[in-house]
Amino acid sequence: MKHYDLIVIGAGPGGTPAATAAAQFGKKVLLVDKRGEPGGECLFEGCIPSKILENAANRYAMLQNAAEFHIDLKGAPQIHWEQVIADKEALLQKRSQAALKQIEAMPTLDFLGGEAAFVDERTIEVNGERYAFDKAIVATGARAHIPPLQGEGVAHAWTNADIFKQTKLPEEIAFIGAGAISCELVQMFAKLGVKCHILERGPRILKRIDEEAALAVQKRMIEQGIDVILNVSFGEIEGKEGDFTIHYEQNGEQKNLKVPHLLIATGRAANVEGIGLEKAGVEFDRHGIKVDETLQTSQVHIYAVGDCAVGPKFAHWASYMAGIAIHNLFAPMKHKVEMGKLSWVLFSDPQIASVGLTEAGAAKAGIEVTVEKYDYSIDARAQIDKDAEGFIKFVIDKQSGVIRGVQVLSYDASSLSGEASLIVAAGMTPMQVMGTIHPHPTLTEGFGKLAQKIFFQSMMKRGR
């Protein structure tokens, strides 16, 4: 039986960086993945394919809106969806193969395709063979969570894993759930001329996101012709691909919606079943593997990173966790994950970027804050681009004056997220942000202008 210093289960954005980092330190490592290809859900069914398709949809929408900039395009733009999907497949394979070559170039790192399961707390089994280890990292990711909806149609509905394989653009589609995945996809398809419906149990979309930003996206959806159906109680979902009927109640009235295509996106479920965690003595529940602030599980030599662990589910967070886990497994001093520095971007229209604390998060944590806002309606760059809806918010700790959170709503919030992340990670104050010279005219000027506004407000208060 082969023996390894470290075994990593799962070759996604958490597992692959962890395995390669350990190998670079000279550790003998086995990286196992059930696909037989590195990349994980993010590469094959998540953030990368969704952005490839979204990129095509956004460029298509730009052509349709060219007249707004006095550009006359003769004839209606056309999109060849099957070629977009072919490009997507080619890029995914290119990235996966590049990662595989990097793995194969490391002499102390072995890669194995197959489903891994713990036999006991020091042994796993893959393809009928057993492998011993000193330490292990579980990075098995997550999958689409299907809630207990009624009706035979539920089993025939698409998830994010299915939608990116469709070579033909659907003519009409309904989305159940109004979280991040649904909201990105529904706007993408709407830009391509697909008739779209989105159904949500709650009173608004994106219930876990800054309300002002979420409502701005909801307003844009309605302007794009998306049928936004809120405060829904679901009944049976009947039918199959090509002919679904969704029965639901809204405001006490029984309704139904007939659509040819249905996608369910109601959250993520950690991949914790079938990998023998019980035999290894690793504690978990339906939310994922239980880890402490150092990412250690209930077994001191086994760690968990990424979507399979209880906590946020983002590819970049998984990669960050990988670095923490490798350090803690092999270095004498422990590092803790810093949740207060977490950043993410929702590629909606307009986009939403968030770093650190929100106003609601601060209230929940009992932290007294002030919130200051820069409105993009007065911004030169936003006006030039004719998309001036949006804002930058600073969530400022009243006691220390440090910016504990930044939220951005803008058509290009993703490009602003890096500066927002640095502000929060460095624990900067508005005065320090004001000391940064921002080029003109750019959207990043908003950070400096907001800092100036806060400074002048404080000066006026002192002068009274």
Q: How far does Cα 34 stand from its chain's mean position?
A: 22
Beta bridge pairs of residue 134:
none
How far apart are alpha carbons 126 and 144 in whole angstroms? 25
Judge whether 230 and 207 are in contact, CB under 8 Å.
no
Q: Does the annotation count 440 as an active-site position? A: yes
Give phi and psi for 83, each to the nearest 5: -75, -35
How far apart are alpha carbons 234 and 294 in whole angstroms? 40
**Catalytic choice (3, 80, 287, 440):** 440
358 CB-near residues (< 8 Å, 6+ apart): 210, 395, 405, 407
User: Both tokens of residue 411?
Assistant: 């058509």
Q: Residue 10 region, left (φ>0) first, then alpha (ψ -120 to 50), else beta?
A: left
Q: How far does Cα 119 stand from its chain's mean position?
A: 33
User: Both tokens of residue 134?
Assistant: 């000193």
Beta bridge pairs of residue 346:
352
DSSP output for 397-428? ETTT--EEEEEEEETTHHHHHHHHHHHHHTT-
How far apart are alpha carbons 243 and 245 in whole angstroms? 7
How far apart are alpha carbons 171 and 321 in whole angstroms? 41
User: Both tokens of residue 317?
Assistant: 């967070």
Beta bridge pairs of residue 247:
256
Active-site annotation, residues: 440
